[in-house]
């Protein structure tokens, strides 16, 4: 059974901060599967990850191009599966090939992958909470991510300092 933690993100700034902190934990070969309704903050969270991994990079949603690749170390592969009609179409994106050995893969609308994602991954589900912001549910699948969640590395007290980078 995967390990799960929940956090409340009070707005765009905290969502981006969570992403920045996550970016400090990610390493080549990691996959992050993001789910949640339209406008829940998936792209904002990815932008925070990019700020940590590639300062100055301007992340944008690859809704129409499906995949955006940010070169550097590590290479970041940002996919948006919103427009996929089935999980079978995922193979055509060749995400594994793009990631190779040095890539980090961030997938929005991962629930549309039809069970085609690697078994070891971090799953992040963002949901609106009336009047409070967004609830983020983080589920670790595989030994690495289960360990990270059990150690509390993604708990609020670990990432709240990312709210004000440089301070």
Tell me, yes or no, whether 24 lies in a domain.
yes
Tell me, yes or no, whether 110 lies in a domain.
yes
Calpha distance 165→131 (Å, rounded): 26
Of 43, 44, 106, 117, which Cα lies nearest the Cα of 79?
Answer: 106
Tell me, yes or no, whether 19 lies in a domain.
yes
Structural domain count of the chain: 1
pLDDT number for residue 160? 67
Boundaries of domain holding 67: 3-159
Which comes out higher in pLDDT, residue 57 or 20? 20
**What integer best gives the mean pLDDT of the chain?**
84
Tell me, yes or no, whether 167 lies in a domain.
no
Which comes out higher in pLDDT, residue 100 or 123? 123
Which comes out higher in pLDDT, residue 15 or 88? 15
Least confident of 20-24, 39-43, 159-163: 159-163
CA dihedral (156, 166, 133, 140) positive or negative:
negative
CATH number at residue 101: 3.40.50.300
Give the 3-state DSSP-derived string for the chain, with helices as H, strands as E and coil as C.
CCEEEEEEECCHHHHHHHHHHHHHHCCCCCEEEEEECCCCCHHHHHHHHHHHHCCCCCCCCCCCCCEEEECCCCEEEEEECCCCCCHHHHHHHCHHHHHCCCEEEEEECHHHHCCCCCCCEEEEEEEEECCCEEEEEEEEECHHHHHHHHCCCCCHHHHHHHHCCCC
Tell me, yes or no, whether 69 lies in a domain.
yes
Band the pLDDT of 99: cuts 50, 70, 90.
low
Calpha distance 124→149 (Å, rounded): 12
In tens, the pLDDT along 31-75 reads 999 999 988 999 999 999 999 999 888 776 665 567 888 888 999
In tens, the pLDDT along 106-144 reads 999 999 887 878 899 999 999 998 888 899 999 999 999
Give the 3-state DSSP-derived string for 70-116, with helices as H, strands as E and coil as C.
ECCCCEEEEEECCCCCCHHHHHHHCHHHHHCCCEEEEEECHHHHCCC
Band the pLDDT of 167: cuts 50, 70, 90.
very low
């Amino acid at each position: 059974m995967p390990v799960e933690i929940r956090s409340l993100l009070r707005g765009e700034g905290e969502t981006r901060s969570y992403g920045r902190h996550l970016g400090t934990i990610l390493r080549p070969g990691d996959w992050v599967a993001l789910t949640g309704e339209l406008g829940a903050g998936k792209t904002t969270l990815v932008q925070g990850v990019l700020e940590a991994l590639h300062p100055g990079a301007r992340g944008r949603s690859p809704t129409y191009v499906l995949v955006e690749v940010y070169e550097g170390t590590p290479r970041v592969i940002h996919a948006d599966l919103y427009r996929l009609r089935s999980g079978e179409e995922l193979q055509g994106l060749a995400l594994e090939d793009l990631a190779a050995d040095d890539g980090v893969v961030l997938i929005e609308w991962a629930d549309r992958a039809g069970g085609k994602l690697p078994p070891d991954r971090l799953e992040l589900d963002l949901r609106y909470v009336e009047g409070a912001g967004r609830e983020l549910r983080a589920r670790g699948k595989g030994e690495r991510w289960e360990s990270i969640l059990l150690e509390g590395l993604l708990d609020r007290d670990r990432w709240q300092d990312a709210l004000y980078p440089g301070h």
